Structure 1
């Protein structure tokens, strides 16, 4: 009983102080971690950031409500000064206004909360005699009013940023890029002095309206600008790809930060004034502590005075960091360049100074290496089925009804970097004409004699599964029978092709299993679940080699007699839907292996040193075209949603495709279609 009384007394004295300091700690945590989520795809990071984001507003609102009671106590009237700081905390950090894309749609709710919490803070301050009452201290009143104004401005800035990110622009939508503004007035002398990273970043800003038109638009007015000289323009799809990567980071700023609200003339002025006002309020509070009014503060709790001082220090540090970040931001530099291209002499003179400051801290390199995760998630169907079947944790998950979630999370392979070979293949596929039915028929991939005619006409999820099974079997055979043989000099890139085919196949299955929202709206995971159930429940195997050998034996039987194979899978009569997909994948794998045999025979008969890489190149090309199709059909909301978790390779491909479809921009970027 005595312990309970001690805890109650301690909470009454320190509970409110601890919660106020917790609110400040949460803001510092968000300030630090918000930068990582743009380029780190980690479940642990997402959990910590989500917890801090949810706790930030809840803690501030809870403490602000309790201050209306606690500040009435004569010895705790100083706590009324905490109310403006809580408004400041509710305004959030510049680097994180929304956790998920759906938060931007709730800007009206935040506007209502702004009105209510400002009224609550005003009530708290008005009820304190130490601030506005008979015993008021002029310096304390000035500091409170100043911080209250800063808090209201910061919270209003957050609501405005949410509104800009959550609403589509209105106007006369025109899809003809020729009717939209394209300005070539950026000074060549300015761009020629930039280092490569700063040059790509500036181009990403100058062409950002194209990206916003794809993921946020359509925009009623597109403002694009660039240099007029060919020497300083972008050249080729490789440089365009680098710009698209940087635009992922800028789009993250558009949807999840205050960047667009802050980096305007009004926003920059508000940032400077709020920083100066916070510093002035801190000076006033120090004058109160050290000046003639110090004795009047002796009647208040030392703990409250110390907490107030910590709140001031935290506010000054965070505001100073925000001001420095705004001044050194590439958004500010791009703002000066854009206005300078319109004829502003002041902006033309300030832009080189901004670039010089950014070069001192290597800001462009920092943004370049942290623009997005630059990786692709991986998931192999065979490995997932083998590991989940042997794992006791999967049995527990099955008993709890979360087997699918557990298997997808636990048995997804580690993400792999986007290799230069994958990038070149995707850029080549975007430039080339997509394969139609005639192209597939000419390569034997649409033959009714193989029973594959339904694959090309089926839904996307079935095509992904069939081609994934076929790729797994083909690479299993190829690695076992082909790679151990000595390769000719011209065939040294075979291992690279194998890696590309494996990574793209596993990436597409990863999207289907883990991120189906990144696929077209009509895509479904049902076929994937059915195939997993067929392999884990009906087939007999203990290792991945056992399962692959069984599937390859079935593929050989189908090639020998497609209508009545000698060897059948056990799931034929118990899981017809899964059997159909597996049969299609094995039939396709048998054709690919036979095609490889023919290619090897023709290469050896003609003494060609190139080896047999045509089949591998065909597989890579099919996966690349499928990925480009998915990137183009993925909804804008899904692309924007994934920006909060490190970005997605699909989004880069969608951006590059958007630029390449514009004839004027393709000409400006010196890209020739094939």
Structure 2
């Protein structure tokens, strides 16, 4: 229903070649905007203030403090909640790739040519970021600040079908119908059921409940996708900054993980606790901790 078989065989995350430069530019400008904002607001390079809230700064900027609960849980749980909510919104606002009309700048950034394409482009970008963070959670959990991480991705997706049949009263045939069904789930009632049961099934259901609640609360329109995109960029920055330097070094020996390149880009902008960089214009002395 939600391509469970393919997802359970998670492979190294793949972004179509025509979208690679656009994704790189998205991340680059996202980090640069945070650095510029920090300078204007006298935060300097305080990583805890800029990325320590794991999406909370973005929600505050968009005046969506009502969603703060989604980023105040364990990081693994927040990733799963936002991933599932992104998937629900992705298929509910389904737009075929052929219907997204964009042009390209010299840097490879895509520019939409109409309003529908603008929504489709933001939606696609969010999908790439969401699935990359899920890939890290499944394949490289040691690179994420999630502790033991007691909620498993495979458990969640195994229970999605059961969840829909039990609480929506029917099974569905494709991703679009599944997303519409999940979007209408009455989570306020369901979250009060079985709250003390710590079984795997109940942990999975709670994540699904929260994701349905989030997808519904995000509402409609272009701003929804801007919020989702910026939350994922903030989570990506948090993950990169919290990963230990030796783990980044191990990934570089294997050819490099995107998260490591994000970490190095953040260091380039001075957003790091791993390096000490001299302020002298004549020489920059870099000391790896």
Residues 665 and 477 of structure 1: CA distance in aligned 2, closer, same or farther (over 3 Å):
farther
Which position in structure 2 is the counterpart of 1:582?
208
* SS of structure 2 residue aligned to 1:526: coil
Question: For residue 236 of structure 2, what is the aligned residue in structure 1?
Answer: 627
Q: 1:495 aligns with which of 109, 114, 120?
A: 120
- Deviation, 1:453, is 4.6
Q: Is the 8 A contact 2:58 2:227 kept in 1?
A: no
Corresponding residue number in structure 2 for 1:420: 21
Q: Distance in 2 between matches of 1:485 and 1:544?
A: 22
- After superposing the two structures, state which structure 1 stretch, 426-435 or 458-467, moved more: 426-435
1:544: Cα distance to partner?
Answer: 3.9
- Where structure 1 has 5 or more consecutive residues not aligned to the other structure, the ranges are 1-380, 389-406, 597-611, 670-674
For the residues of structure 1 that align with 2:26 and 2:100, how far apart are their CA atoms?
26
Residues 487-539 of structure 1, C-alpha deviation per residue, up to 9 Å, x if partnerless? 99453444332221111111110110112122126252634243133226655
Work out whether residues 501 and 623 of structure 1, in 8 Å CA contact, stay in contact via their aligned partners in 2.
yes
Distance 1:485 1:635 in 2: 39
1:425–1:621: 8 Å Cα contact kept in structure 2?
A: no
Q: Corresponding residue for 1:470?
A: 85
What is the distance in 2 between the residues matched to 1:644 and 1:628?
21
In the alignment, structure 2 segments of 5+ residues that lack a partner are 39-49, 103-111, 166-170, 194-198, 271-276, 285-289
Higher RCO (CA 8 Å, separation ≥ 6 residues): 2
Task: Note if 1:556 corresponds to 2:157.
Answer: no
Show the 5 A alignment for 1:448-459: 452-459=67-74
Larger Rg over CA atoms: 1
Judging changes above 3 Å, is the alpha-carbon distance between structure 1 residues 470 and 649 closer, same or farther for their aligned structure 2 residues?
same
Please list, as runs of the form range in 1=range in 2, the aligned pairs for 1:187-586 lying within 5 A after superposition.
382-383=2-3, 385=4, 387=5, 408=8, 410-412=9-11, 415-416=14-15, 417=17, 419-431=20-32, 432=34, 433=38, 434=50, 437=56, 439-441=58-60, 443=62, 445-447=64-66, 452-479=67-94, 489-491=113-115, 492-520=117-145, 522=147, 524=149, 526-535=151-160, 539-540=164-165, 541=171, 543-545=173-175, 549-558=177-186, 563-564=188-189, 575-586=201-212
Instruction: Pick closer, same or farther for the CA change 1:654–1:413 going to 2, 3 Å.
Output: closer
- Give the number of the structure whose residues are more often helix, by fraction: 1
Q: Deviations over 1:139-190 (max 9, x none)?
A: xxxxxxxxxxxxxxxxxxxxxxxxxxxxxxxxxxxxxxxxxxxxxxxxxxxx
Deviation at 1:549, TM superposition (A): 2.6
Alpha-carbon distance in 1 for matches of 2:163, 2:251:
36
Change (3 A) 1:575 1:633: same
Q: Tell me how far apart the structure 2 counterparts of residues 469 and 533 of structure 1 sit (CA, whole Å).
A: 13
Contact 1:459 1:523 in 2 (8 A): no
Q: In structure 1, the residue corresponding to 2:94 is in which secondary structure?
A: helix
Number of equivalences? 236
Moved over 6 A (4+): 483-488, 665-669
Normalised to the residue count of structure 2, the TM-score between the two structures is 0.67
In the alignment, is the contact (CA less than 8 A) between 1:516 and 1:525 conserved in 2? no
Could you state the TM-score of these two structures normalised by the residue count of structure 1?
A: 0.31
Aligned-residue CA RMSD (Å):
3.8
Q: Distance in 2 between matches of 1:663 and 1:472?
A: 44
Over residues 178-214 of structure 1, what are the superposed CA-to-partner deviations in whole Å (9 max), with x where a residue is unaligned? xxxxxxxxxxxxxxxxxxxxxxxxxxxxxxxxxxxxx
Residues 169-188 of structure 1 aligned to structure 2 (within 5 Å)? none
Contact 1:518 1:635 in 2 (8 A): yes
Q: CA deviation at 1:622?
A: 1.1
Q: Which residue of 2 aligns with 1:637?
A: 246
* Counterpart-to-counterpart distance in 1, 2:93 and 2:278: 41
Aligned mates of 2:92, 2:163 — CA distance in 1: 24
Native 8 Å contact 1:520 1:633 kept in 2: yes
Q: Is the 8 A contact 2:160 2:208 kept in 1?
A: no
